[in-house]
Amino acid sequence: MAKVAIMGYGTVGSGVYDIIKMNSAKLAKSADEEIEVKYILDIRDFPDHPEKHLFTKDVNDIINDSEISVVSEVMGGLHPAYEFTKQLLESGKSVVTSNKELVATYGSDLLAIAKEKNVNYMFEASVGGGIPVIRPLSRCLCANNIIKIAGILNGTTNYILYQMITNNKSFDTALKDAQANGYAERNPAADIEGHDACRKIAILASLASGTEVDYSKISTEGITAITLDDVKCAGASDYVIKLIGYAEFLKNGKVYAHVAPMLIDKKNMLSGIDDVMNGVLVTGDAVGEVMFYGPGAGKLPTASAVVADIVDSVIHRTARKGMAWIKADEDNTAPADEMKFRYFIRADKSTGDAAAVFGNVTELCGISETETAFITSPLTYAEAETLTAQLGGVKTAIRVLD
């Protein structure tokens, strides 16, 4: 019998509790022993809960209980989640988490403590919700040098773009719709400005490179500037626009990463990821391209990943899993100027001649007679800035995912 604790009884925490109750037979089979929740930590009271005796407001009850070997931290936020996790790892307990902000910010520290104490710090649920991605990337693709990761990592923005693409909604209407459906917060900034996706691509890039990729150094752009005209113009030429967390692993050991809306060919598997779903496309030097797809958020899907980590931690109570990275000794991020992307550009026809300014371009269908739309040859960010200024009348310039 393995006794575990849940810290935070919000959406994910109650999902973790529900799965442990609902699928107890399956979990016992997977872990080779029964799993039981002994504590639930929350500052709130739950007087009507069927197991209200499990609740505590004091993390020391968990830290000081030698029966507890695995704790799931599903509180969210940096503090006190960081302090609690640190104390738990230091006291020799494994911690599993869905907290992407904590993993992206303090992951290196916490993974180092876990290593020192020979316990596990696992975070399958921190990226892609219920989609298996951390373990597959780290273990199943371990024979590969990872070349590239491109992911739809945020369900809210994917829902908004999908509504624009499919139902001709404006960004504002689609956002209100997302809020009405519970897919977007009242303050949607963390999602629509790309900060959520930024934490997630930082985690994937750190894991793939083995060295922390500092999320604060990742150029992050949201979808607030994307218009219905952009989406229509892309669609008319068999492309879609998606918010992409992108990372490329250079031969010199540096990592380039960004979060930005990108133009995606409808032949690319990522283009078919609709609604609130997520997907991560990984390119390895041996395997080529693989993709992991599924629900990137939600109570039971996210809890499914947290509970899988609980089971794995129970199995590995005396052995550490190698899903980890270390702090970088020096700046390991590649500057944008070293990278080239093709650009999708929409501009007024009157202001200049695209071919004269950009050289070889691929013409796309414009959405009106007064505008031109095209895809450039690969350019650095600086080159694209210079040339778009030179052309004039540019409404949109976003990178193409190749």
Give me the least distance between CB of 135 and a second copy, in Å please: 5
Out of 207, 308, 345, 394, the residue judged to bind a second copy by CB under 8 A: 308
Q: Looking at 1-9, 59-67, 181-189, 264-272, which segment touches a second copy (CB under 8 A)?
A: 264-272
What contacts 24+ positions apart, CB below 8 Å, involve 283-287? 283/146, 283/147, 283/148, 283/149, 284/141, 284/143, 284/144, 284/145, 284/146, 284/147, 285/144, 285/145, 285/146, 285/147, 286/143, 286/144, 287/141, 287/143, 287/144
156 binds a second copy (CB under 8 A): no
Nearer to a second copy, 15 or 151 (CB): 15
37 binds a second copy (CB under 8 A): no
27 binds a second copy (CB under 8 A): yes
Nearer to a second copy, 277 or 347 (CB): 277
Give me the least distance between CB of 38 and a second copy, in Å please: 18
Draw the binding track, 199-228, toward a second copy (x: CB under 8 A; -: no contact): -----------x------------------
Distance separating alpha carbons of residues 56 and 257, to the nearest angstrom = 41
180 binds a second copy (CB under 8 A): no
Residues that bind a second copy (rule: CB under 8 A) add up to a total of 55
Distance separating alpha carbons of residues 107 and 121, to the nearest angstrom = 9
Nearer to a second copy, 151 or 284 (CB): 284
299-315 and 24-31 helices, crossing angle to 10°: 30
Out of 155, 294, 352, 366, the residue judged to bind a second copy by CB under 8 A: 294
Out of 132, 195, 333, 340, the residue judged to bind a second copy by CB under 8 A: 132
Angle, CA of 365, 371 and 374, to the nearest 5°: 50
Out of 17, 183, 246, 292, the residue judged to bind a second copy by CB under 8 A: 292
151 binds a second copy (CB under 8 A): no
- DSSP-derived secondary structure letter, 270: G
Nearer to a second copy, 212 or 312 (CB): 312
284 binds a second copy (CB under 8 A): yes
Q: Looking at 191-199, 257-265, 302-310, 368-376, which segment touches a second copy (CB under 8 A)?
A: 302-310
Other CB atoms within a 10 A radius of the CB of residue 227 amount to 15
248 binds a second copy (CB under 8 A): no
Burial of 76 (0-12, 13-18, 19+ CB in 10 A): middle
Nearer to a second copy, 289 or 385 (CB): 289
Residue appearing with tokens 């303090």:
106
The catalytic residue positions are 200
Q: Where do the H-state alpha helices sit in 168-217?
A: 171-180, 189-192, 195-209
Distance separating alpha carbons of residues 295 and 277, to the nearest angstrom = 5
Give me the least distance between CB of 266 and a second copy, in Å please: 9
Between β-strands 277-284 and 146-152, what pairing exists: parallel, antiparallel or unpaired? antiparallel
CA-closest candidate to residue 107, choices 117, 118, 94, 122:
122
29 binds a second copy (CB under 8 A): yes
* Residues 313-352, interacting with a second copy (CB under 8 A): 315, 319, 322
Nearer to a second copy, 10 or 80 (CB): 10
The most distant pair of C-alpha atoms in the chain lies apart, rounded to whole Å, by 74
Out of 77, 80, 92, 288, the residue judged to bind a second copy by CB under 8 A: 288
Distance separating alpha carbons of residues 17 and 310, to the nearest angstrom = 12
What are the DSSP calls for 53-111, one per residue?
Answer: GGEES-HHHHHT-TTEEEEEE---SSTTHHHHHHHHHHTT-EEEE--HHHHHHHHHHHH
Nearer to a second copy, 175 or 303 (CB): 303
124 binds a second copy (CB under 8 A): yes
**CA-based R_g, the chain, Å:** 23
238 binds a second copy (CB under 8 A): no
**243 DSSP β-pair partners:** 261
Residues that bind a second copy (CB under 8 A): 15, 19, 22-23, 26-27, 29-32, 124, 130-132, 135-136, 139-145, 210, 267, 269, 272-274, 284-295, 298, 300-301, 303-305, 307-308, 310-312, 315, 319, 322
